[in-house]
A = this chain, B = another copy of it.
Amino acid sequence: MEWSATRPGEVEGGLPTRADASLTFIGRIRTPFPTRAECPRRGDQEAGPPCRLEVEEPWRPALRGIAPGDRLEVLYWMHLARRDLLVQAPSNRPAPLGTFALRSPNRPNPIASSVVRVVAVTADAVVVSGLDCVDGTPLVDLKPARG
């Protein structure tokens, strides 16, 4: 388990206690990045390595119509993130900022959205470029990117 230590200037707010809605993971993301330290800072839709969005059996019919070249928005669950940080002090910022003013993985509901380019589609997976997440990340949703 990789866990971020709290830094000077950061504010913890306690973990979310209510379960207002539940997610079902529709699959897993396979990337060449085994740990967070090895993830790139930002995915590259053109030159990034191919990553596999593996979709579990019940949801595979929902892939109909996705084709190579499409731009997809991928939502995934950042399972290694902290959910209790209200103010964060990233090392590349001059002062602490609120969590909602940052794209940090650490947030009350750690859902990431990335835009990717479809390289290939199989019966059970979509191969894409542009992701920067750790191997094994749970997949929440995919949909066409906003035009």
Contact = CB atoms under 8 A, between A and B. Distances in A.
Interface size class of A (residues with CB under 8 A): 35 or more
Nearest to A15: B24
Interface string A1-45: 000000000010110111111111110000000000000000000
The secondary-structure label for the interface of chain A is mixed
A23 B24 contact: no
A21 B77 contact: yes
Interface in A98-115: 98-103, 107-109, 111, 113, 115
Q: How many copies does the complex hold?
A: 2
A135 interface: no
Interface of A: 11, 13-14, 16-26, 55, 58-59, 61-66, 72-73, 75, 77, 79, 86-87, 96-103, 107-109, 111, 113, 115, 138, 140-144, 146
Contact of A113 (B17, B65, B75, B96): B75
